Amino acid sequence: MGITETAEYPLTAEQIEFYRQNGYVRLPDVFTIEELEAARKGVDEAVRLREEISQGNLVDSDYARVFVQMVNLWQASDILRSCVLSAKLASIAKRLSGFSQVRLWHDHALVKMPGDSKPSPWHQDLPYWPHDRSGSLSCWMALDDVTEENGCMWFVPGSHRWGRLEPISLTDPQDIFSLVPEPKEKDFTPVPQPLTAGSCTFHDSLLFHYAGPNRTDRLRRALITIYMEDGTCYTGAPHCVTDSLGLKPGELLQGDLFPVLA
Ligand SMILES: O=C(O)CCC(=O)C(=O)O
């Protein structure tokens, strides 16, 4: 099933400037109701399949207590393909980043299950990715209303300018703030990002971010689409999306798995 492409999302010059200064921006009502329902249906189906495969034991590790992660759902689901390859979202990523073209890096659904839910610790994204440059960015789309109670995102404004630090273990996290060079000169004050379903944030891959545990009895569903600059090359660092591709360090991330979206 395809969903109807909707018009370009109007971004103001202030929103673009806010993104560049702070490393993130919050955008209301980006998905239409139709797009939101499609994304929910696709993610629910993926959760159902994962549950079936795990024979009802979906939350079987500390990692799954942080979130149940399902990567590159656009390849497995026609519904999610339309959501992830959305020209509307990609055009926002292109205008915020200022790149002449953006490619898909990958999508993932991150579902915080109710029950024994753990926070997504403070981290940057880029240290986990085999990208030879910075600037890659994520669209974090809320599929449920998110608040501090069920695990909304938190950002430290401007922290995308503090450099690329070591990756943090998501299950046994180091204090990322202890790794920041010249900490006395920096403001670590975090800002919560509550969102209504269908609204999203875009964040730079070097931005410090966190999400609290889900303390409700409902799922917290988010669909994240990640964009990189066209021309980004593979560094050779391990990653589940690239490990099986036989790429050599220095090769372009391109081709059908990494389509140009805007
Ligand atoms: O949704 C979460 O709990 C964390 C999300 C995150 O770290 C990301 O989108 O980069």
Query: Cβ(209) to ligand 1 under 6 A?
Result: yes
Instruction: Give the pLDDT confidence of 167-222 residue by residue, as tens digits.
Output: 999 999 999 999 999 999 999 999 999 999 999 999 999 999 999 999 999 999 99
Report which ligand 1 atom has the smallest distance to the Cα of 125.
10
Beta strands 153-155; 137-142: pairing state: unpaired
Return the residue whose CA atom lies nearest to atom 1 of ligand 1. Answer: 110
Q: Mean of the pLDDT values across residues 123-150?
A: 98
Q: Is the pLDDT reported for residue 5 higher than 70?
A: no
pTM: 0.97
> What letter would DSSP give residue 227?
E
* 13-229: CATH superfamily: q2cbj1_9rhob like domain (2.60.120.620)
pLDDT at 1 over 80: no
Strand order in 209-211's β-sheet? Answer: 120-123, 209-211, 153-155, 191-193
What whole-number distance in Å separates Cα of residue 188 and Cα of residue 175?
12
pLDDT in tens, 226-246: 999 999 999 999 999 999 999
Virtual CA dihedral for 61, 124, 188, 30, nearest 10 degrees?
-90
Closest ligand 1 atom to Cα of 66: 3
Using CB atoms within 10 A of its CB, is residue 222 exposed (0-12), middle (13-18) or buried (19+)? buried
Distance 211 CA to ligand 1 centre (A): 7
Say how far apart CA 131 and CA 199 lie, in whole Å. 27
26: pLDDT strictly greater than 60: yes
Judge if the beta carbon of residue 211 lies within 6 A of ligand 1: yes
How many whole angstroms separate alpha carbon 105 and alpha carbon 257? 8
Could you tell me the distance, in angstroms and rounded to a whole number, from the CA of residue 110 to the centre of ligand 1? Answer: 7
- What average pLDDT is seen over the chain? 96
The domain limits of the chain are: 13-229
Ligand 1 within 6 A of CB of 138: yes
How far is it, in rounded angstroms, from Cα 8 to Cα 132?
30
pLDDT value of residue 56: 87
pLDDT grade, residue 6 (50/70/90)? low
